[in-house]
Amino acid sequence: MATVHKNLSDYDKNTIPNASKFRFGIVVSEWNDAITENLFQGAYDTLLSHGALPSNIIRWDVPGSFELIYGSKKMQQQMVNAVIAIGCVIQGETKHFDFVCEGVTQGIKDLNVLHETPVIFCLLTDNTMQQSIDRSGGKHGNKGTEAAIAAIKMAELRKNS
């Protein structure tokens, strides 16, 4: 498991660009909201800690993780420098998990290939609720923090390229 020996919230703050000039969109799935709210909070707090202004962070909620694709596409049209797509899919007894995870992964990839505004993939795809808890502020840190750092870096890359 990739996060067994890594805390997702550990990073060198001195290597992160100042985010005060950037606008960010965050699209949050309402499904598994105990997890997605923690991921959002990690992302939001991290953006603020690197200079982003609260007024430059737009949040939209969508019903489920599959809807992150459409929400992110529409968010790209809002004059933001980067979008963070936040969701959580937990393995169940059917193949639904596989279809949702694959669809969202491919959809976010397509948005990155087709459009200029980067979309950051912050979708937990865990086998258990405990694994999601561990990655949304638990013992492995917060994947939302990691996504916010990626968003800042990608906004900077877009600005400089």
The residues carrying an active-site annotation are 96
Task: Give exposure, 46-75, as e/b (b: 16+ Cβ within 10 Å).
Answer: bbeebebeeebbeebebeebbbbbebbbeb
CA pair distance 90, 109, nearest whole angstrom: 21
Which tokens in the block code for residue 39? Answer: 């991921």
Q: How many CA within 13 A on the CB side of residue 131?
A: 14
Angle at 125 between CA 120 and CA 131, to 5 degrees: 115
Helix (H, G, I), strand (E, B) or coil at 94: coil
**DSSP β-ladder status, 57-62 and 24-29:** parallel
